[in-house]
A and B are shown apart, each in its own frame.
Chain A
Amino acid sequence: MSAFIAKRLGLAFLVAVAVSLIAFFLLRISGDPALAIAGEGASQADLDLIRRTYGFDRPLPIQYLDWLWRTVRGDFGDSIYFKTAAGPLIFSKLQTTLVLGFAALLCALLISIPLGVLAAIYKDSWIDRLCLGLAVVGQALPNFFFALLLIMVFSITLGWLPVSGSETWQHFVMPTLALGYYAAPAFMRLIRAGMIEVLEADYIRTARAYGLPAWRVILRHALRNAIIPVVALTAVQLGFLLGGSVVIETIFALDGLGYLAYQSITYKDFPVMQLIVLLLSVIYVVLTLAADIANAWLDPRIRVAAV
């Protein structure tokens, strides 16, 4: 087990280093960040001044190492645009995004588990086809378009929900739906497949033969086993949801990391952009690492196979 963990940790570390390289160099391919910072009406002297102040005149590898060293020590630098420390700025927005991410995940599971179970129980019936149909339709609807439809219905026509902001839990209802529904089909398919497999397994048949009530068999035995692969997917999906929240948070002006990411992109705020990409990537690395270790702990076969 410890060999497995060491190996996974090593991989995670290498990935984190690679991601930091990408986050740094990606944002330098445009050429001169000084031009972006300077703004309307800046002179050549202003540009030179900016280059010196931010150290853009040094060789790139030095800039990278310097940036990495400072980041590792927890010195995240200042936001070029907001003129305030980038670290606190980003971490103050993280909470909103985490709330949205988990709510969306919960929403996806609330939709997908019942539908997946139903589809599996009534395999190949009209219910199954309806559920699969819903999944395909759901996956076809672009989430930004769905978000606009929600605003039309719930804010403009019915006047029930606030359009934008993050003050109350009501502000989270539409963003959660818009982000969560899109993750639901993947879960639904996985649960359906898992349930079908488990329902056909011997011990379920036996339980049924002993006359245990159908719902009890389904919930206590079948679902419990079918849900294991879902746990692994959850970690991956949460990562996707956090990344995907940039579109939804922007539409609903929800004051989270995704919205800040969009702002930093439009304002060419390099330190913030880099940190958000890095932070989301590291969160993903940690999540998958945790999921891997949890899985290996649950299922010894994985450990052996992976080592």
Chain B
Amino acid sequence: MLQRCLHNKAFAIGASLLLLIVICAVFAPWLAPYDPYAQNLELRSVPPFWTEQGGWAHPLGTDQLGRDYLSRLMYGARISLLIGVSVALISGLIGTTMGLLAGYFGGKIDLLVTFLVTTRLSLPVILVALATVALVGGSLTVVILVLGLLKWDRFAVVMRSATQQVRALDYITAAQAAGASTPRILLGEVLPNVMPHLIVVATLEAASAILLEAALSFLGLGVQPPLPSWGLMISEAKADMFFAFWLIALPGGALATLIFAINLAGDGLHDLLGAEGRVG
């Protein structure tokens, strides 16, 4: 399996990049050269090392309040990953439950789930998320909850069709005949068999949640300062973009790299696991 993973170039590149970002995030307290919240008003907007005025004291420069940019980027990775993972967990739990039930039982439950999915799909996600955050007040928890409660549709759709396929298989019928309880069949037999699909959808949804958080924070309706969210960093620096382009280029590049890594790894997994779940 490992051999195959390494042979799939997309997966190998994506997973290594992702691993690198995860290491930066997890070990940020030890790796980051400074406290990401420590301000130094004397050293504001110092450019990064490759420019003339830059230096190695702050390799990637400092922001508008004199906070070390490299440290903030590293801590920012924590927020993006936290959001990706938590949203995928919440929405995955909701969507998978719905998809499993609909696919396994069919009939009225299936109709109900189809109705819920259609309703959810017809709501414009960004707009509803923006409105909710604007009304409730932005914070990391609120963003995670709102996105988690909104983004379960693809889980439900994919899990439903995957379960429908698995349900007809012999060993499920056998388990039913042997008198196994429904929860047991669902969790013990069906779920492991649809797991590859689940993992692929989860990677896609995590990436999409990270992008959505960045967009919300960019519009000022996501997580609140001084948290170093990459979207928020772009938002805080957007007025500087004409004079200090690196202030938006660095978090923008970091965000794009993370999404690229997740999507590439997801694509690779898709091929490796032979799962179907790519919608777009």
Q: Which residues of A contact B (CB under 8 A)?
A: 11, 14-15, 18-19, 22, 26-27, 29-30, 132, 136-137, 139-145, 148, 152, 156, 183, 185-187, 189-190, 233, 236-237, 239, 242-244, 246-247, 250, 261-262, 265-266, 268, 273, 276-277, 280-282, 284-285, 288
From B101-109, B131-139, B176-184, B187-195, the one touching the partner chain is B131-139
- Complex A-B, nearest 5 residue pairs according to Cβ-Cβ distance, in ascending order: A186-B280, A243-B124, A30-B135, A140-B260, A140-B259
- A148-B248, A265-B130, A277-B127 given as contacts; is B260 within 8 A of A136 (CB)? yes
Contacts of B219 in A (CB 8 A): 247, 250, 262
Look across to chain B and name the residue whose beta carbon is closest to the beta carbon of A188: B280
From B24-32, B54-62, B167-175, B210-218, the one touching the partner chain is B210-218
B257 touches A148 (CB 8 A): no
- A145-B252, A242-B124, A284-B121 given as contacts; is B131 within 8 A of A139 (CB)? no
Contacts of A140 in B (CB 8 A): 207, 256-260, 263
Query: Among residues 233 to 280 in chain B, which have CB atoms less than 8 Å away from a CB atom of chain A?
Result: 234, 238, 241-242, 245, 248, 252, 255-260, 263-264, 267, 278-280
B280 touches A189 (CB 8 A): yes
A239 touches B122 (CB 8 A): yes
Within the complex, what minimum Cβ distance (angstroms) separates B35 from chain A? 27
Contacts of A27 in B (CB 8 A): 131, 135
B118 on interface, CB distance cutoff 8 Å? yes
Could you list 27 examples of A-B contacts with CB < 8 Å? Answer: A11-B118, A15-B115, A18-B119, A136-B264, A139-B207, A141-B259, A142-B214, A142-B215, A142-B231, A142-B252, A144-B214, A144-B218, A145-B252, A145-B255, A148-B238, A187-B280, A236-B121, A243-B126, A246-B126, A247-B219, A266-B134, A273-B131, A277-B123, A277-B131, A281-B123, A285-B118, A285-B122
A284 touches B122 (CB 8 A): yes
A189 touches B127 (CB 8 A): no
A14 to B112, CA, bound (A): 11
Of B123, B130, B136, B260, which one neighbours A19 at CB under 8 angstroms?
B123
B126 touches A19 (CB 8 A): no
B242 touches A15 (CB 8 A): no
Contacts of B113 in A (CB 8 A): none
Of B119, B128, B241, which one neighbours A152 at CB under 8 angstroms?
B241
B125 on interface, CB distance cutoff 8 Å? yes
- Chain B interface residue count: which class? 35 or more
B221 on interface, CB distance cutoff 8 Å? yes
A26 touches B218 (CB 8 A): no
Look across to chain A and name the residue whose beta carbon is closest to the beta carbon of B114: A11
Contacts of B252 in A (CB 8 A): 142, 145, 148
Q: Which residues of B contact A (CB under 8 A)?
A: 114-115, 118-119, 121-128, 130-132, 134-136, 207, 211, 214-215, 218-219, 221, 231, 234, 238, 241-242, 245, 248, 252, 255-260, 263-264, 267, 278-280
Of B119, B214, B267, B280, which one neighbours A136 at CB under 8 angstroms?
B267
Of B121, B127, B211, B255, which one neighbours A261 at CB under 8 angstroms?
B127
B260 touches A137 (CB 8 A): yes
A15 to B123, CA, bound (A): 10
B135 touches A22 (CB 8 A): no
A281 to B126, CA, bound (A): 12
A247 touches B242 (CB 8 A): no
Contacts of B214 in A (CB 8 A): 142, 144
Look across to chain B and name the residue whose beta carbon is closest to the beta carbon of A137: B260
Contacts of A189 in B (CB 8 A): 278, 280
A17 to B149, CA, bound (A): 20
A196 to B119, CA, bound (A): 33
Within the complex, what minimum Cβ distance (angstroms) separates B120 from chain A? 9
Of B135, B245, B259, which one neighbours A139 at CB under 8 angstroms?
B259
B127 touches A142 (CB 8 A): no
A280 to B131, CA, bound (A): 14
A189 to B277, CA, bound (A): 12
Contacts of A156 in B (CB 8 A): 242
Within the complex, what minimum Cβ distance (angstroms) separates A168 from chain B? 24
Contacts of A243 in B (CB 8 A): 124-127
Which of B127, B134, B264: most chain A Cβ within 10 A?
Answer: B127
A128 to B49, CA, bound (A): 38
A237 to B124, CA, bound (A): 11
B256 touches A141 (CB 8 A): yes
A183 to B280, CA, bound (A): 8
A11 to B207, CA, bound (A): 31
